[in-house]
Structure 1
Amino acid sequence: MSASPALPDPALPTPLLLGVDFSSAPRPAKPIVAAWGRRSGAVLKLDSIEALPSLEAFEALLRTPGPWVGGFDLPFGLPRELVEHLGWPTDWPTLIHHYAGLSRDQIRETFAAFCAARPVGAKFAHRACDGPAGSSPSMKWVNPPVAFMLHAGVPRLRAAGVHLHGLQAGDEQRVALESYPGLLARELLGSRSYKSDDKAKQTPERLIARKDLVEALEQGRSRLGLRLKLSHAQRDALVADASGDRLDAVLCMVQAGWASTQPNFGLPARLDPLEGWIVSAVPADA
C-alpha cells in the first residue's frame, strides 16, 4: 500500500472530479454514465454528464489526462475468505490477472458451487467494507451482477494505468477509487427507493424521492460536508431519469469530491490490500 498523501496543496490545481455509474454490458439503451465536476471549497459544481455506450468508450474515458479523482461504482476486490478458499492468488494484481482470464460462465459456476456448500443465511462471502457500506457481496453474479462488473471494469482500470490507491500504484494524476452511491443515498433518504430500470416500478413515490435526494445534495445535508451546485436544466435531468443512472454517477462524483480532500483519500489505514475499500464507508471499529 502506498504512503498516505498529504492534504491537497492549495497552490496546486484542484483535480477534476469524476463519478461513474458502471455497467458490465453497456449499450446505447443502458450506457455507462460518467459525471464530471469540480470542487471549490465545500461546493461541488457539476460540469457535464456523459453516456458511454461501450466498454471501449469507458477505456477512452480512463485515458482522460489528469489531474482527476474518480469514484467508480463497481467492486475493486473479492472477499479474502473466498479467494483463500478457492486457492486463488492472494496478491491483488495477480488475482485480478487470474480473474480476468476466467469466462463469466466459469465465474458463475465457481461462485455458485461455493455458495451451495454453505448454510442458508451465509451463502456469500463478504468483504470487510460490505457491512459498513451496505453493499452487495462482490462475488454476487445476479441482481446486481457485481462479480461481472469487477470482471469487466477492474482489468480495464489496471490496463489504463490509473492509480488504484491502496491496491496498485499508477498515474497519480488519475486516481480511481471504489464508490457506492447507495451508501450516500441511504444516508439522505433512509430506506426509500429512488430508481428502477423496470418502467412499471418508476412510480411517483420514486420521483419524489429523487427530488428529495437532489435537494439534500444541494443543501449539503450529508456527513461529507459538501454542497452540490446544479443548473436548473441539470437538476431537472437528474430528477427525470427514472433509472437513477445519472443521479448515481453524481453521487459517486460527490464521494470522489470528499475523498479528494482527505488524507489517504479517506480510506482506512488498515485497508486489506486484497479486498479494497468503498470510499466514505466508516470501518466498524472506527
Structure 2
Amino acid sequence: MVAVPVERVLVGVDFSSAPTARKPIRLAFGHRRGAVVKLERQEALASLAAFETWLAAPGSWLGGFDLPFGLPRELVETLGWPTEWAPLIAHYASLSRAEIRATFAAFCDARPVGRKFAHRACDGPAGSSPSMKWVNPPVAYMLHAGVPRLVAAGAHLPGLHAGDPARVALEAYPGLLARELIGARSYKSDDRAKQTPERLIARKDLIEALEQGRSRLGLRLKLSHAQRDDLAADGSGDKLDAVLCLMQAAWAETQPNYGRPADMDPLEGWIVCA
C-alpha cells in the first residue's frame, strides 16, 4: 500500500503576547493552488497555553507569524548578550518582562534623540517596528512569548533554527502587504470608538485588492461571501492581518529557501517579502 503524502496547510498567525477571549491570537488557514490562495477557516486562541497546544498538534504546515524572530545585532552586542541565535533566545526567554523593559529602557536612555532604538536590517525594507520596542506595539514581549514556544514545539525556523521540516515558521509582517495595496490608509483599531466608516472602507478596499491579486506576490485570495463580510466587519483588523500573513506564507511557499535573502543576518532574522 502506497502512503499518500500529507498536504501542507498554510497558516497566517496574528499573534498577541497576552491573548484573551476578547483579543485572541488569530489563525487563518488555507491552501494554494497555483496563483490562488483559498481561505479555508479561521481560529481564535484565547491563551498562550492554547497556542502551545496548537503548535504541539500533529500536522504539516507552513506559517507566517506576525512577531519578530530576532533582536538587533547592535542591541545584543551592546548588552553583551550571546551573539548566536539559539543561545540568545534561551537567554532572552530566561528574563522576565520587567527585566526586558528595564534593560531596553536603559539602553534607549543612553542614546541620542532620534536614535533611541536599535533596528534590524530587515526593519527598514519592511517598515516594521524595532523588535526591542516594548510599547505600542509591544513586539519585544511578542518575541519573548512566541519564539521560545516555537522552538520548544520543534518548529523549523529557516536560517535561524533547525527543526521539523514539516512545520515551518516564518516571520511575517501584515503591514508591509497592506501598505503595498492601500498605501498609508488606516484600516483597523482596537479602540471601538475609532472603528470608523473610513477604516471599514479601507478594509473592504484591501480585501478587494487581495482578491484581485494586485500585489507583487502574484497571488489571488479566494473567499466566500461570508468570509469577505466577516473580514470586513472585524474593526480590530486582526482577522484580516492573519489573512495577510497567510498570503505572505503562500508566497514564501513558491520561493527557493522560502524567499530568504542571501545576506540575511543569522542573529537578526528576516521578514517574508521584505
TM-score interval, smaller chain: over 0.9
CA RMSD of superposed structures (Å): 1.0
Match status 1:211 vs 2:200: no
> Which amino acid in structure 1 is aligned with residue 124 of structure 2?
G
Q: Secondary structure at the match of 1:126?
A: coil
1:13 Cα offset (Å): 5.8
Equivalent residue, structure 1, for 2:223: 230
Q: Displacement, 1:64?
A: 3.5
Gaps of 5+ in 1: 1-10, 282-286
Deviation at 1:67, TM superposition (A): 2.4
Give 3-state SS (helix, strand or coil) of 2:38's partner.
strand
Q: Who is 1:79 aligned against? A: 72
Q: Retained in 2: the 8 A contact 1:14–1:39?
A: no
- Write the deviation string for residues 140-198 of structure 1: whole angstroms up to 9, x where unpaired: 00000000000000000000000011001000000000000000000001000000001
- Residue 35 in 1 paired to residue 33 in 2? no
1:16–1:38: 8 Å Cα contact kept in structure 2? yes
2:12 and 2:57 mapped to 1: Cα distance?
13
- What is the one-letter code of the residue matched to 2:225? H
Q: Which runs of 5+ in 2 are unaligned?
A: none
Letter in 2 for 1:174: R
- What is the alpha-carbon distance in structure 2 between the residues aligned to residue 267 and residue 37 of structure 1? 22
Q: Show the 5 A alignment for 1:240-251.
A: 240-251=233-244
Partner of 1:70: 63
Matched, 1:143 2:130: no
Q: TM-score, normalised by structure 2?
A: 0.97
Paired with 2:261 and 2:9, the residues of 1 have a C-alpha distance of 23
In 2, distance between residues paired with 1:141 and 1:155? 17
Normalising by structure 1, report the TM-score. Answer: 0.93
Q: Could you tell me whether the CA contact under 8 Å between 1:71 and 1:253 is conserved in 2?
A: yes
The structure 1 segments of at least 4 consecutive aligned residues displaced by more than 4 Å after TM superposition are 11-14
For residues 31 and 192 of structure 1, what CA distance do their matches in structure 2 show? 24
SS at match of 2:21: coil
Matched, 1:16 2:9: yes
Three-state SS of the structure 1 residue aligned to 2:258 is helix
- Give the letter for the 1:75 counterpart: P
Aligned counterparts of 2:57 and 2:165: Cα–Cα separation in 1: 13
* Residue correspondence of structure 1 range 119-138 to structure 2 within 5 A: 119-138=112-131
What is the CA–CA distance in structure 2 between the aligned matches of 1:233 and 1:84, rounded to whole Å? Answer: 50
Check the 8 A contact 1:65/1:174 in 2, yes or no.
no
Q: Which residue of 2 aligns with 1:118?
A: 111
